[in-house]
Amino acid sequence: MTVNELMEQIRGEMTGDLKKDLEHLSERAGSLRGEKNAGELLEAIANYAYEMMPEEQREKFTEETFVLGKRMDAAFHEALTLVNNGKPQEAEEILSAISEKIEKYYDNAQPRLFSFRNPFEYHMYRYYYPNDTEFDRAPFDFAHYLQLYGYVLIENKKLSEADAVLEHAIRFNPVSADVRFEMAELCKLQRNRKKLLAINQDTLRLCTSADRIARVLANMGFYCYYVGDFYEAAVFYYDSLRFHGSKAVEFELQDVLRHMKTYGQKFAPPTEGQTLDVYHKYGLQPPPNSDLVNLAVTLANSAEEYGRPELQGLFTRVAFDLTNDPRFKEQLDRIDRKIQAQKEE
């Protein structure tokens, strides 16, 4: 979709009720995050919403969402560019200002604000926390912004500050596996074995794809190696590779096997029962998380009933990413053909 096509649609959707129109623009922005040109589409919506506001409201919006003279999302992308160019120290100033703005205006907002990155994360939260129904969408992806800030602080050797920032990020997206991966890296640097295990236990139940599962298992391999449980480390690295191939993990597995050999220990591919025993030893449920698979299937069926093929495709993709079941791939192909046919009508 081009910017011109989007704006033509949006202008036709406006009602004249400022509150409703701004809420609609926020919903439209959330639905466009997966577009290839999402950046320019979201920029166009943000500028249109800003122009719609009366002067008094515009001033309030500017105070709450602008950082160093730029809208918060633009400032974040400037910081991200600096990080990608190997300049974390320069990025830190921008991200620190963003963090301060979030803390000042959004930490204590009522209702509470979350920045789920897609509809499935929203439903994950509702599944895990069914009694929490009073919350709203944050105006920007605060969890992602703070996650990058935590990463930058780690790069800049400010580990204790990074810990607090990453906890802040989790507060805005309690079901994010990605933020917890950053926290796991911090635990490794701090040699905090107890917290690393707890983070791994927490993250595994939130993983929605095979590569994320594999990363948790690799982190468990690291943990077991660090505490001297070499056989268990090998099992976790081996299972990590089963979910997602990685040269780095292959290297770690070979390193563990060499270490075991010096102690006269042997390793053979574990049986299913042996693998389950290792998982249970550390309080982990073997992946994939059947609760999330069932949730994705239920949501996909509901989306189909309501005639929402895009959502049906999103939820079916989660089920496929978790299971690699060819039946879900067949469903995805059918959904893609249906969406394409609708676009061509």
CATH 3.40.50.970 fits 66-190, yes or no: no
Span 304-324, pLDDT tens digits: 999 999 999 999 999 999 999
User: Strands 70-71, 66-67: parallel, antiparallel or unpaired by DSSP?
Assistant: antiparallel
**Residue 33: pLDDT band by 50, 70, 90 thresholds?**
low
Q: Work out whether strand 112-114 and strand 135-137 pair parallel, antiparallel, or are unpaired.
A: parallel
pLDDT confidence of residue 28: 78
Which pLDDT band holds residue 34 (cuts at 50, 70, 90)? low
Task: Find residue 137's DSSP bridge partners.
Answer: 114
- Mean pLDDT computed over every residue of the chain: 92
> What residue ranges of the chain are covered by domains with CATH 1.25.40.10?
66-190
Whether residue 122 has pLDDT greater than 90: yes
Q: What is the pTM of this model?
A: 0.87
* pLDDT score of 345: 67
Q: How far apart are CA 235 and CA 267, in angstroms?
A: 9
Q: Is 299 helix (H, G, I), strand (E, B) or coil?
A: helix
DSSP string for 68-99: TTEEHHHHHHHHHHHHHTT-HHHHHHHHHHHH
CA of 71: how far to CAs of 67, 107, 237, in Å? 6, 18, 43
Please give the helix or strand (H or E) that residue 12 lies within, else none: helix 3-13
219 closest CA partner among 206, 243, 208, 203: 203
> Exposed, middle or buried: residue 216 (CB in 10 Å: 0-12, 13-18, 19+)?
buried
